[in-house]
Amino acid sequence: MSGTFYVTTPIYYVNAKPHIGHAYTQVVADTLARFHRILGEDVFFLTGTDEYGEKIEEVSLAKYGEKGHEKEFVDSIVVKFREAWGSLNVSNDYFIRTTDPGHGKLVQDMLQGLWDKGEIEEGEYDGWFCTPCETFWTDTQAENGVCPECNRPLGRIKEKNYFFKMGKYREWLLEYINEHPTFIMPEFRRNEVLGFLREELTDLCISRPKERMSWGIELPFDKGYVVYVWFDALLNYVSGIGASGRERERFWPANFHLIAKDIIRHHAVYWPIMLKAMGLELPKTVFAHGWWKMGADKMSKSKGNVVDPLAFIEKYGVDPLRYFLIKAVKLGMDGSFSEDAFIATYNSDLANDLGNLLNRTLTMVEKYFDGVVPAAPRDPGDPAQLARSNELRSGIKGILPLVKGKMLSRDLLLQEALETVMQTVVGRANKYIEASAPWNYSKQGNMEAIKLIMADLVEALRVTAIAIAPFMPATADKMWRQLGAGDDIKADISPSVYDKWEPDKLAGVKVAKGEPLFMRIK
């Protein structure tokens, strides 16, 4: 085993069912996890659900008409998240729920430790609170009594509470962020966080009196209170390791916390300070992605334009959705989702380019060579064909190292990696068929030239299947089987697959042409 790779998604708040934004984080995390598994690393991919807090208590109350049904309520929603990630072919290694007893125990231990060290103190809270965001705001932050995060009206609260003494860590965090340029990515998000830290950092109210809100983890040092939901939720990244049966020492700190941009303050300010105060290391990178808009509009329940990923999967299949989510946006930027754009991408990239390339190639291998992949001859009997072949091969030869470099880059260039394969290999291979016109060589009786063309095309497809395996695992497997390369691409490729070029790897195998990979959408 060459090292560990620990990637997390946020744990999703279970007040509503999963939407396309959640699905996006899942696909990005899953692609990374699958890629690092191919590299032979010991991967731990954690996702889960955030189940406590005021908002859950409210929706549960609205549904059941009385308090006390919160667990029943969250159980019913968690099923939907698990089903959605199953349909999306997400390969998480563990699913953490904040209502799991093990998580609650760890949260209480951490709170007790901080209390014993004097990092938490009692005080009077007098300020603003946003219920949907579960976030406190000071007078300066909350201009006109409106939440700076979601623009909803805030409630005014005055009560005895417990405070995590976060403010004194401001200088330390500034310095840490400056000294660790990849701690917050992309770079413009780091600048945004440095911007928050230019202002005073107030201590964080981490308690709720039970008389007002009781759906939470009890403070171990005051039974009249439960802990602030964000404080509890962030700790899932640590508790999830132990809950899965793994050793914390082996997997902490995480390599990547993938999050959406609206929760950057919690992950890049609160969380590192909590870890510092608890004496734990900080995650290597907090990577914030953008939001998905519906055309030009923000997706929101009130606008009724929330995209349900399950409906898309049912209608078009899982891999086209995974492909579109990665292809349509550079990680970190906002994306625009529309069914028309999705269909256009599906038809051009998947049905026309990738699907047709496989189909045409295998049809020709069957027609000219009884389905057995020929080895590439040194001399195809036509210098022009040799030149075309060398040009295509130069693209194929470098593609896996190039893809590997992009996937490992600090910017997580998943979109570029995928695009490069589609252009440099799939796109060029389709043009290669047209330019080479094997049917003309057939009329001339030049089978050596056709051997070379088929060997090149099969190699292009083999390399493509490997490169897309983390992105579209089911499609990669289908390609692998149709190429006659094996039954399970994951099992058949080794960690060094990205570092070497093995032309003629499939020479002599019998292809097994099957159903088209993607049917055109009319």
- Nearest approach, Cβ of residue 132 and Zn ion (Å): 5
- Single-letter amino acid code for the residue at 328: A
d(CA 96, CA 89): 18
- Would you give the binding string for Zn ion spanning residues 94-133, x where CB under 5 A is met? ------------------------------------x--x
**Residue 58 or residue 218: which is nearer to Zn ion going by CB?**
58
Site for Zn ion in 64-83 (CB under 5 A): none
**Residue 147 or residue 282: which is nearer to Zn ion going by CB?**
147
**Residue 152 or residue 168: which is nearer to Zn ion going by CB?**
152
- Name the DSSP letter for residue 510: B
d(CA 5, CA 233): 21
d(CA 141, CA 15): 26
Q: Which range, of 111-119, 145-153, 155-163, 192-200, touches Zn ion by CB under 5 A?
A: 145-153
- 262: contact with Zn ion by CB under 5 A: no
**Residue 23 or residue 130: which is nearer to Zn ion going by CB?**
130
| Helices and strands, counts by H and E, the chain | 22, 16
Residue from the set 78, 147, 206, 418 that interacts with Zn ion by CB under 5 A: 147
**Residue 133 or residue 275: which is nearer to Zn ion going by CB?**
133
- 353: contact with Zn ion by CB under 5 A: no
The tokens describing 47, both together, are: 């996702």
Burial code (b: 16+ CB inside 10 Å, e: under 16) for 167-202 equals eebbeebeeebeeeeebbbbeebbeebeeebeeebb
- Would you give the binding string for Zn ion spanning residues 202-241, x where CB under 5 A is met? ----------------------------------------
d(CA 479, CA 355): 9
Residue from the set 150, 333, 437, 512 that interacts with Zn ion by CB under 5 A: 150
DSSP string, 72-117: HHHHHHHHHHHHHHHHTT---SEEEETTSHHHHHHHHHHHHHHHHT
From the CB of residue 378, how many other CB atoms can be counted at a distance below 10 Å? 8
- CB contact at 8 A, 326 and 418: yes
**Residue 155 or residue 401: which is nearer to Zn ion going by CB?**
155
- 325: contact with Zn ion by CB under 5 A: no
d(CA 215, CA 104): 12
- 485: contact with Zn ion by CB under 5 A: no
- CB contact at 8 A, 119 and 277: yes
**Residue 55 or residue 406: which is nearer to Zn ion going by CB?**
55
- Nearest approach, Cβ of residue 151 and Zn ion (Å): 7
- Would you give the binding string for Zn ion spanning residues 378-417, x where CB under 5 A is met? ----------------------------------------
- Nearest approach, Cβ of residue 354 and Zn ion (Å): 43
**Residue 141 or residue 352: which is nearer to Zn ion going by CB?**
141
The tokens describing 326, both together, are: 């990665």
Q: Which range, of 59-67, 88-96, 150-158, 505-513, touches Zn ion by CB under 5 A?
A: 150-158
- CB contact at 8 A, 267 and 259: yes
3-class DSSP state for residue 435? helix
**Residue 130 or residue 193: which is nearer to Zn ion going by CB?**
130
Q: Which range, of 15-23, 142-150, 333-341, 359-367, touches Zn ion by CB under 5 A?
A: 142-150
Find the helix or strand (DSSP H, E) in which 442 lies.
helix 438-444
Residue from the set 149, 192, 411, 448 that interacts with Zn ion by CB under 5 A: 149
Q: Which range, of 97-105, 146-154, 185-193, 339-347, touches Zn ion by CB under 5 A?
A: 146-154
3-class DSSP state for residue 165? coil
From the CB of residue 520, how many other CB atoms can be counted at a distance below 10 Å? 14
Residues of this chain that interact with Zn ion (CB under 5 A) are: 130, 133, 147, 149-150
